[in-house]
Amino acid sequence: MHKIVLNIGLLAFFISLIIFSQQSIPLVDVFFRAFAIFVIVTFMTGVLVIVFLKAVAKAMYEKAIQKQESMIMGNENNGQ
């Protein structure tokens, strides 16, 4: 998953590099701005992935608990 997040950050870096180089900005500033975009996009995507994975894990845990409770009660169709 970290490779996908890094690839999204690199994509944002190169797109911002192209966009900033189209403007008449010094080359050093172009790289600093593109790197800032890379860091921000990578961080935000990483946070989004963590939140998404925690939500999925919580939903699966609740479903497993519900399935276990239904099997204890003897009613297997209740948990589905």
Q: In the structure, how many helices (H) and strands (E) does the chain have?
A: 2, 0
pTM (two decimals): 0.74
Helix axes 27-73, 2-22, angle to 10 degrees: 150
Closest by CA to 2, choosing from 33, 45, 31, is 45
pLDDT tens-digit profile of 50-72? Answer: 999 999 999 898 888 888 888 88
pLDDT, the chain, mean: 90
Residue 75 has pLDDT above 80, yes or no: no
pLDDT-derived band at 76 (thresholds 50, 70, 90) equals low
